[in-house]
Structure 1
Amino acid sequence: MADFLAHAGIPAAVTDQALAIDAILQQWRRRVGKRELGRMALAELGLDIDLPKLDVLIATWAPSNEFGADKGETMVSTIATRLCIDPSRASRLVSELINQGLLARGVSQQDARRTIVELTEKGLATVDAVRTIKFLILGDYLKGWTEAEIDTFLPLLERFSSWSEEAADKGQTLLAPTIAELRAKLQKLSQ
């Protein structure tokens, strides 16, 4: 692979760095995929919901640091969009959360024909408790970092978090000939 990447104009040192970053990200992805902290918070709080339902509660509440500044009315379609899930799945989860007393249906103030979804007092307390545990743990971890480390890390993490979007754009343009070589090689092996 290193030879092919060098042929594509990627320096050997950058290839080594990319491989190291990828190894860390794969380990992190597997841990995050297990959602250990979320499961722990739900268990510690004795909540009778699973992680997808927690996601719906949080998407209904829609913290601006996660979902942007749009604090308009929340409908089932809004939740589906925020979580990148099928609207029918969002609808089923919302119905289950309504039955559990964590969400309630309401009438839109903008259009009386629309049904909105709102957190109940119990739903808001659930979101608040889970997020408090999350930030207690994260805060406890970060308190060992210096201010300079955090000031360096945050902009770099934000910059790095968009690499796959930028890479997809480049894949369509700058890297297209190199990707075409890989495709041709695979097609030749498939014949």
Structure 2
Amino acid sequence: MPSRNKSQFSALLSNAGIDTETSEAVMEIDGILQNWRRRAVKRELGTRALADLGIALELAQFDVLSVIGAHVTEHEQGEVMVSTVAERLGIDPSRASRLVSEMVDKGYARRAVSQADARRTIIELTDRGTAVVDAVRAYKFMVMGDFLGTWDKSELAAFLPMIRRFGQWMDGIGASTEKHAAEIEALSRNLAESAKSRETA
């Protein structure tokens, strides 16, 4: 069965109470984000940064250093343990433990005793690890700064609050799914009917 075309999606969104202009924006943004996700999955920027900076680490190892170092930023607070690494990277605790051990063995991180609970082992960056994380962040900021430097100041002033606001759109997914429960149920029924028709074909 062929996929719905743009006009059919527009009609579907219109029936759900979403105006045409917003529908057009939704579909264009979705296309942009899909392309963005593909490039993010390939980790193009991270791979290039490690190569250009001559850092002999895999991306998974660098991710561990980033998580360990995140507690010193304004966005992440608190001590970092192996379980913290596993949670923030969405990986199995045994894999997190193995990656942390690799970083400790290579001298990028060290184990220490928690200041809050002496029975707890935490993970910290060494000076070498901090230098690596800072260098990659600086690389990323320079590349992004070079791109955004071509924008007008008024564009930057408008863009930042909008992308900050857009970054919160998934927070309201529950309210949206409740609002469009009937439409979602109809989509689910169509899927079930499609599956049955394939079984009987």
Q: Report if TM-score (shorter chain) is over 0.5.
A: yes
Alignment partner, residue 162 of structure 1: 168
Aligned residue for 1:90, secondary structure, equals helix
For residues 105 and 69 of structure 1, do their structure 2 counterparts lie closer, same or farther at Cα, with a shift above 3 Å needed? closer
Alignment partner, residue 30 of structure 2: 22
1:133-153, Cα deviation, whole Å (9 max, x unpaired): 111111121222222211110
The whole-number CA distance in structure 2 between the counterparts of 1:112 and 1:156 is 44
2:9 corresponds to 1:13? no
Q: 2:155 aligns with which of 127, 137, 149?
A: 149
2:185 corresponds to 1:176? no
The whole-number CA distance in structure 1 between the counterparts of 2:124 and 2:63 is 14
The whole-number CA distance in structure 1 between the counterparts of 2:152 and 2:23 is 30
Alignment partner, residue 127 of structure 1: 133
Q: 2:73 aligns with which of 32, 49, 64?
A: 64
Shift of 1:25: 1.2
> 4+ residue runs of structure 1 moved beyond 6 angstroms?
none
Shift of 1:69: 4.7
2:184 corresponds to 1:189? no
The whole-number CA distance in structure 2 between the counterparts of 1:31 and 1:104 is 32
- TM-score in terms of structure 2 length: 0.86
Alignment partner, residue 83 of structure 1: 89
Aligned residue type for 1:20: E
Aligned residue for 2:179, secondary structure, equals coil
Aligned residue for 2:107, secondary structure, equals coil
- Counting only pairs closer than 5 Å after superposition, residues 35-46 of structure 1 correspond to structure 2 as 35-46=43-54
For residues 96 and 69 of structure 1, do their structure 2 counterparts lie closer, same or farther at Cα, with a shift above 3 Å needed? closer
In the alignment, structure 1 segments of 5+ residues that lack a partner are: none
Aligned residue for 2:123, secondary structure, equals strand
How many matched pairs? 187
The whole-number CA distance in structure 2 between the counterparts of 1:169 and 1:86 is 31
Aligned residue type for 1:101: G
The whole-number CA distance in structure 1 between the counterparts of 2:73 and 2:90 is 17
Aligned residue for 1:116, secondary structure, equals strand
Shift of 1:82: 2.6
Aligned residue type for 2:73: S
Shift of 1:165: 2.8
The whole-number CA distance in structure 1 between the counterparts of 2:175 and 2:99 is 34
Aligned residue for 2:111, secondary structure, equals strand
Deviates most, 80-89 or 175-184:
80-89
Shift of 1:164: 2.4
Alignment partner, residue 55 of structure 1: 63
Shift of 1:108: 1.2
- TM-score in terms of structure 1 length: 0.90
